[in-house]
Amino acid sequence: MANVTYKSAGVDLELYDEAMQRLPNLMQRTFTPRVLPLADAFAGLMRLNHSQRPGKASYHDPVLVSGTDGVGTKLKVAQLVGKYDTVGIDLVAMSVNDVLCLGAEPLLFLDYLALGKDNPDLISSLVQGVSDGCVECGASLLGGETAIMPDIYHDGDFDMAGFCVGVAERSRLVDGKAIRPDDVVIGLPSSGFHSNGYSLIRKVVFGMANLSVNDVIPELEKTVGQVLLEPTRLYPKWILGILKSYRVKVAISGLAHITGGGLKDNIERLLPEGCRLSIDRNAWPVPKLFGWLQGLGGIDRDEMYHVFNMGIGFTLIVRPQFVESIRRQLTQAGTESWIVGRIQAGTRGVDYAS
């Protein structure tokens, strides 16, 4: 009887080791002064307080803020294009932007990759994107897990999950409880579809319209693959700057990451009783790619606004007297912004005024 090996069962440990040898540099380039390096450890170490923290040496009453997410079926588009070094940015952004909504600065990120077959090139490309995202937002890629599961995933299939931990001073947590009538909602631009609605996107683009990832979209002057793989925007570089300049609950009452469910669902969860948001859909220029998709699939307008961010990826809810100065600071920091809605007294909920 032939000897059975792990390799014959579908897991090649030599290929796995090759992949793992490529990852330490991608992790170390993300390390901040908080990281306590350990060689060949089973876990990562990070301290909350350190002498190089900008502005203050330590937190008085630190609160850990955590979040987890994935990339969804956008991964199928990456497979079709054969480009894997950007979906890791999506993975980081989806969790980091959520943690940011509580006013937390991102500290560390962990990733989980699951594949049907060992593939060092694929693994390193995926982690390259994760590393790039962490560098952009200042989080340390402290560790991760790569699982080879040939009976769960077919050859070429893979999935990703990400986990972010941030920290905030307890007195400066942004929880939405301070939202009140007359507050103003400021919207920051998205970079495209981000990582939401891709089951609908793929059904329309590849199923109904029979387009390929290499087809050019004339009105966008890009290929389908380029448009659909545009990474999710990371917002810490703008929002953390605002949080350092303005007092929470005095100037800033709420923050929302606009993901699946659109503006309505993601802001409504923040609203206290007695507060109703009115959104003006004419207040910002909706990027052309949303109109392209809507026309391609004959998608109802309300469905578009329910599924997609429609060009607004993150929002701040602020007191009216601080609106202009906050928008001016955002402009100086390099991003556009729009007044997209106002809080009114009324039954808790969200309406579209146009």
What 3 state SS string does 93-140 have? HHHHHHHHCCCCEEEEEEEEEEECCCCHHHHHHHHHHHHHHHHHHCCE
pLDDT of residue 169: 94
pLDDT of residue 2: 65
pLDDT of residue 146: 95
Distance between CA 207 and CA 204 in Å, rounded? Answer: 6
Q: Return the SS3 of 255.
A: strand
pLDDT of residue 12: 87
pLDDT of residue 112: 98
CA-nearest of 123, 127, 159 to 15 is 123
Distance between CA 38 and CA 105 in Å, rounded? Answer: 23
Distances (CA, A) of 316 to 65, 203, 267, 271: 19, 33, 10, 13
pLDDT of residue 54: 53
Query: Residue 81: what are its φ and ψ, rounded to 5°?
Result: -80, -30
Distance between CA 245 and CA 326 in Å, rounded? Answer: 9
pLDDT of residue 57: 56
Estimate to the nearest angstrom the gap between the alpha carbon of 131 and the chain centroid. Answer: 14
Strand 222-223 and strand 184-189: the pairing is unpaired
Which CATH code, of 3.10.20.340, 3.90.650.10, 1.10.10.10, 3.30.70.20, is assigned to 184-352?
A: 3.90.650.10
Tell which CATH architecture fits domain 13-172.
Answer: 2-Layer Sandwich (3.30)
Spatial contact of 297 and 150, defined as CB atoms under 8 Å apart: no
Distance between CA 31 and CA 12 in Å, rounded? Answer: 30
pTM for the structure as a whole: 0.95
pLDDT block averages, 10 residues each, the chain of length 354: 80 87 92 86 85 63 96 97 98 98 97 94 97 97 95 91 97 96 98 97 98 97 98 98 95 97 96 97 97 98 97 98 98 98 97 89
Sorted by where each begins, the domain ranges of the chain are: 13-172, 184-352
pLDDT of residue 55: 52
Q: Return the SS3 of 92.
A: helix
Spatial contact of 89 and 129, defined as CB atoms under 8 Å apart: yes
Q: Where are the alpha helices (DSSP H) in 138-229?
A: 198-202, 224-228
